[in-house]
Structure 1
Amino acid sequence: MSIPDWLQQNTLFTADPQIFLMAAVAALCIGLSKSGLSGTATLNVVLMAQAFGAKASVGLVLPLLIVADFMGFYLNRHGGSWRRVLPMAPPAIAGVIAGYFLLGEIDNVSARTVIGWLIIGLLGFKLLLDASKGALEILTGHPIFSWAMGLCAGITTMLANAAGPVMTVYLLSQKLEKKEHLGVFSRFFLFINLFKVPFSADLGIINPRSLMTNLVLLPGVVLGILLGWQILKRIPQKPFEWTLFVLTLVAAVWLIRG
């Protein structure tokens, strides 16, 4: 397989076909994650970072995420509500702003390691909640919990587009029914990813060549979200929760190992 010259000249692809393959798989993962299989979002982070570099991949992925967010919102429009997004919106906005300043300062390898361990810690917290048989559930309803999770989501999404697992752990702790979970998930990311656009453009990581690369990869995103939607329609509530948990754990470990 050879990459055409016109594609190399107008996009971020190089002559190496392995880069194109990794990007195509990552685009499929973006679609799968936006359908509700959120653990695959971190697989996309790793693949895109390896293909294009950590910082450049953040801007490259964002427009693809937004397209998938609109599709995910449409597919899940009958579940969830904007009211459930509101408690996390202010801290998430603050987290995006903090991440904007950190992105120019922090080493991206270190950022991925920190995010991976944070996600594992959150998964451990979820297991602790389940084992407590309701004794600790009062914590998840406290505004401080929502603010802490919103801030984590904002920072991680700006640094590495890796807030999917953070939001998954938060929503699992709220013990939402599957349809409600997917509806809130899709609404939150549609909002926060649109909010990130001017910050990414200001950093120069969204540019004409990255947008042309987005056009090439877009069919993979569409295929992923349609495939993921069909998979999730066939998974009952409990297997759904454990599928998300396992995918998120695997993705976090992969993120740490880089």
Structure 2
Amino acid sequence: MIHDWLQQHTLFTGDSRILLLAGIAALCIGLSKSGLSGTATLNVVLMAQAFGAKASVGLVLPLLIVADFMGYYLNRHGGSWRRILPMAPPAIAGVIAGYFLLDTIDNTTARTVIGWLIIGLLGFKLLLDASKGTLEVLTSHRLFSWAMGLCAGVTTMLANAAGPVMTVYLLSQRLEKKEHLGTFSRFFLFINLFKVPFSADLGIINPRSLMTNLVLLPAVVLGILLGWQILKRIPQKPFEWTLFVMTLIAAAWLIHG
């Protein structure tokens, strides 16, 4: 009975492997929105394998928004809306550019480009740390914020893969963990809500995808609560290196996934 309902009203087929992949991906969405942003790219790869690259972009967006609201509530005492203002205009421009690219660019190419971009940004972060402050002035320049905002906008529209981009940006700002998580959750709540009409216009948010979201929502909630408990127990420096390593792994998965 449940099996028949899933086939009639959702994007699930009779293949139980697809349900398993999607469930793990939904758990990763929750983990990423709690602040373990490297897991966001894992959900991109798993959802693309389960439902196809383009369909998965629209399928994931409502789950991300629910998780964004939860993440914002959990991290509401850290960060501020003022911190995302420098990145908002270029991020909006990036979403619009990604909207036009989504129908033309091959998804494998997009994932490869995004993966290498993230690795390049991680290298830039290491260079900043090694410079002992001499290059830090670059990260406070408006051009840096605009470049990172544009990257985040394009990557989030093409593959919902802007988490690692935003992580590198915030790590370069050397924020305390509480400020990092609060700013991260605010930015993605804003940008993912902005993406909804574009995704609906492309037809990748539809009644069947929304019913699929309902099935996967408990795994998202479980992931964000689990991630929140993990992050409460990680001190600042291990927190930064955990994000760095997870982001690097996620970028490599994007390139080779």
State the distance in 2 between where 1:142 and 1:162 align: 24
1:249 Cα deviation (Å)? 0.3
Q: Structure 1, unaligned stretches of length 5 or more?
A: none
Of 36-45 and 3-12, the range deviating more from structure 2: 3-12
2:79 is matched with which residue?
80
1:5 Cα deviation (Å)? 1.4
In the alignment of these two chains, the number of paired residues is 257
State the distance in 2 between where 1:182 and 1:26 align: 21
Of 6-15 and 163-172, the range deviating more from structure 2: 6-15
State the distance in 2 between where 1:132 and 1:218 align: 44
2:247 is matched with which residue?
248
Partner of 1:4: helix, strand, or coil? helix
1:19 is matched with which residue?
18
Task: State the TM-score, normalizing by the size of structure 2.
Answer: 0.99
Give the RMSD, CA atoms, in angstroms. Answer: 0.8
Matched-pair contact (CA < 8 Å) for 1:39–1:251: yes
State the distance in 2 between where 1:148 and 1:75 align: 29
Matched-pair contact (CA < 8 Å) for 1:3–1:15: no
2:198 is matched with which residue?
199
Partner of 1:87: helix, strand, or coil? coil
Identity of aligned pairs, percent?
Answer: 89
Matched-pair contact (CA < 8 Å) for 1:3–1:17: no
1:235 Cα deviation (Å)? 0.1
1:155 Cα deviation (Å)? 0.1
State the distance in 2 between where 1:79 and 1:33 align: 17
1:9 Cα deviation (Å)? 1.1
Mapping of 1:68-107 within 5 angstroms?
68-107=67-106
1:37 is matched with which residue?
36
Task: State the TM-score, normalizing by the size of structure 1.
Answer: 0.99
Which AA in structure 2 matches 1:176?
A: L
Which AA in structure 2 matches 1:235?
A: I
1:115 is matched with which residue?
114
Map Cα deviations across residues 36-81 of structure 1 (whole Å, 9 max, x no partner): 0000000000000010000000000000000000000000000000
Of 235-244 and 6-15, the range deviating more from structure 2: 6-15
2:238 is matched with which residue?
239
Q: Structure 2, unaligned stretches of length 5 or more?
A: none
Matched-pair contact (CA < 8 Å) for 1:149–1:166: yes
Mapping of 1:162-241 within 5 angstroms?
162-241=161-240
State the distance in 1 between where 2:91 and 2:112 align: 20
State the distance in 2 between where 1:229 and 1:173 align: 23
State the distance in 1 between where 2:20 and 2:85 align: 38
2:132 is matched with which residue?
133
Matched-pair contact (CA < 8 Å) for 1:26–1:43: yes
1:3 Cα deviation (Å)? 7.0
State the distance in 2 between where 1:42 and 1:3 align: 30
State the distance in 2 between where 1:111 and 1:9 align: 32
1:210 Cα deviation (Å)? 0.2
Map Cα deviations across residues 164-218 of structure 1 (whole Å, 9 max, x no partner): 0000000000000000000000000000000000000000000000000000000
Matched-pair contact (CA < 8 Å) for 1:3–1:16: no
State the distance in 2 between where 1:108 and 1:3 align: 33
